[in-house]
A and B are shown apart, each in its own frame.
Chain A
Amino acid sequence: MMKNWRKKGGRSWRLVSGVGASAALAMAFSAFGATPPTFAAGQAPITIGVSASLTGDFSSSGIPLEQGYKLWENYVNSHGGILGRKVKIIFLNDNSSTSQVATNYEDLITRDKVDIVFGPYSSLLTVPALEIADRYGYAFEAPAGGGPAVFALKSPNFVFVQPTPVSDTMVSFAKWILSLPKSERPTTAAYATEDGPFSPAMLQTARNILQSHGIKTVYDKIYPTETTDFLPMVLGIEHSKAQIVLLGTHEPEAADYVRDFVQQHYNPKAIVFTGGPEDGTEFLDGIGGAKYANGIMVPGGWWYGEPSYQNKLFVSMYVKTYGGKPTDVPTTAAEAFSVGQVFQQAAEHVHSINNAKIIKALHTYTFNTVQGPMKFNAQGAANGEDFLMQWQHGKLEVVYPNSIKTAAPLFPKPNWP
């Protein structure tokens, strides 16, 4: 019956859908205390194309990426759009595939004729995506693809919208270790990371710094990305008796490592993950509760309490739209939101969405984002600095650098309960 009504009464259905969508939009505006904006008459929306990993290996980060972009789209449209024009983001799913991501950007640019493109998740997918954007002269702002392989393309169109290039992410941890009094400073370190263009680069920079200051490497292994059993690496690390452990991970692997360390009763003085522990409840659930997180460290370019431009607004919008607590807001969503902020400010600086002008603006101005202010150099790297966070009694605290820390670091890390 419903099917027939919809089929026969197509116009009625569209009318009802339209009324419903309008009502939902009005509710969204009222929720954020804004009145529906008016856009310049006769102007088409600014179309932005994004390939997001909504399925496949990167989907746990691809979905927050989409959320961050959508939040920015909603926010900007509820505040008059950009240059008086509404913003419309077109998402295509790449299934975490390097070939599909290239096809998607090709389609977005040539078939959908989008005005602008924003980046996908991960360095692995950013490389083929950036090659397509370069071919067509599009500006390319990457929220989460700043590994060495991306910078090696030397694209003049590219900026990486995070405070530091990926390879410098663990520098905050290395600096903190070196800031310890010599009598307390660890002398041995273990490194283990999944393969890929992302995590190994992070660990390599930290290892170079620590080794050059006399901290001996006693374990250093790379394992395939599809690894699901981390016990062999944990046994090797434990056998090495390393005093500090640096691990190249995302959230699920980080939780798996913690469980294996707990099972082995292995208590190094410090454990830092390149990624995972910042994911709040998801990470805590994965390791069996906050008591197991005490002392675990993770570097970050953004955190929910950061006193940066529009961050409070972004966090409240995220929680209101997607639920959870401020600590659950994924970093990837903040990074995607930042991409939108940078584009908006670039367009307003040059009063245009012409890609050539946007590219010039990206390398000229300083931009305010939820991750802090950023100014990009010729290679597209920002001039910011990451910080070091640590789980302390169920709360993620900033512990380094001292200028912004919210708590003193727990060192050595408390033993597992």
Chain B
Amino acid sequence: MSLLLDGIISGILTGGVYALMASGLTLVFGVLEIINVAQGSLIVAGAFLSYALLTYLHINIFLGLILTMPFMFLVGYVVDRVFVRRLRVDRVMMSIMVTYGVALVIDGILTMIFSTSYVHLQTAALNQSFPLAGMRVPMIYVYVFLMSVVFLLALYALLYRTTFGQALRATAQNRNAARLIGIDVDQMSSITFGICAALAAAGGMGYGAISSFHPNSQFDLISRVLVIIVLGGMGNIGGALVASLLMLVIEDVVSTVWLPNWSTLIFFIVLAMTLALRPQGLFGSKEARQQ
């Protein structure tokens, strides 16, 4: 019983970080109607930016977000302006190829600068923990989870409590109709891609604080965040949050209580069963699936 509880706590804390990493990806799909497979690389780039600030300028990883998130916003904005906006036909398929190219470029740059060695974000909280339900909860997991919650709430407020959010959601629902009522859809798309990259910076920092990473970590990450947004429903941020928690709790409970080697398989069985019943994902719309 104690182990089960340990697994659930561990899964929820880690799931929060994955929700943050997946939120940008699902937002971009909702607004731009593209699949950004460079999200994994953007996350790793965010982690390395935090690492560089921490290692060379001794800036705390949480404070460092004040610099890394705007920088990554600019990167995302430019990527959209230069590469994604030019896609006019077959946007979903073409975007996979274009953003994969972007991912390879980011990987190459990171490898040149940081080599292929694994690194980890060292913080004072790294070795601290407190007792809860028979386990010791690592402080860094709690901090990173809280940070994820704050950013997800901020994203929610941005989308549902501001005029900008209204325009963004209008663009997500119908790009042509949004254009007709005077919304600058192209500008919205670039800003959305920028937000996606900024969230990747925060998610990357969170990921780097609890796991070792290297430039090629993006391959593992992108597959996991893609699965999360498919399960949650493509384009749905709440769905990404629920799917992240579900995925990580299932994996951690199976790993802790039963067999770690079966954790991914069990999750994929749950995924397959869910998609068989709801092909559009837990919270997705049928229109999104048709794309």
Contact = CB atoms under 8 A, between A and B. Distances in A.
Interface stretch (A9-17, A40-48, A257-265): A257-265
A263 B220 contact: no
A259 B122 CA distance: 10
A117 B283 CA distance: 54
A227 B128 CA distance: 23
A224 interface: yes
Contact of A63 (B6, B116, B213, B252): B116
A229 B211 contact: yes
A259 B126 contact: yes
A224 B213 CA distance: 17
Interface stretch (B64-72, B177-185, B257-265, B272-280): B257-265
Interface string A213-254: 000000001111011110111011001000000000001110
A265 B260 CA distance: 22
B255 interface: yes
Interface string B200-224: 0000000000111110110110000
Contacts of A231: 10, 14, 138, 141, 252
Interface residues of B, number: 41
A63 B111 CA distance: 12
A312 to B, nearest CB: 26
B7 A235 contact: yes
A265 B3 contact: no
Contact of A232 (B2, B10, B264): B10
Contacts of B141: 231
A112 interface: no
A255 interface: yes
Contact of B264 (A222, A224, A239): A224
Given A59-B214, A232-B7, A235-B6, A263 B127 contact: yes
A195 interface: yes
**Interface SS of chain A: helix, strand, loop or mixed?**
helix
Given A226-B220, A263-B129, A265-B129, A221 B259 contact: yes
Contacts of A192: 260
Interface in B242-277: 251-252, 255-256, 259-261, 263-264
Given A229-B14, A235-B256, A256-B212, A224 B261 contact: yes
A117 B214 CA distance: 29
A233 B212 contact: no
Contacts of B216: 55-57, 59
Contacts of B217: 228
Contacts of B116: 54-55, 59-60, 62-63
Contacts, number: 119
Contacts of B264: 224, 226
B173 interface: no
A232 B256 contact: yes
A251 B211 contact: no
A223 B261 contact: yes
A252 B118 contact: yes
Interface in B1-33: 2-3, 6-7, 10, 14
Contacts of A62: 116
B264 to A, nearest CB: 6
B174 interface: no
Nearest to B116: A59
A282 interface: yes
A397 to B, nearest CB: 24
Nearest to B122: A288
A128 interface: no
A144 B198 CA distance: 41
Interface string A253-296: 10110011011110000000000000000100110100010000
B260 A224 contact: yes
A235 B135 contact: yes
Given A224-B260, A235-B135, A286 B120 contact: yes
B176 interface: no
B117 interface: yes
A222 B214 contact: no
B252 A264 contact: no
A233 B127 contact: no
Given A222-B259, A288-B122, 10 more contacts: A54-B116, A55-B216, A223-B255, A224-B263, A229-B211, A231-B252, A232-B251, A233-B255, A235-B10, A262-B127
10 contacts: A57-B219, A224-B261, A228-B212, A228-B213, A231-B10, A236-B255, A256-B211, A263-B128, A263-B138, A282-B118
Please provide the 9 A-B residue pairs with the shortest distance between their CB atoms, ordered closest to farther: A223-B260, A232-B255, A252-B118, A59-B116, A252-B212, A232-B256, A228-B211, A263-B138, A263-B129
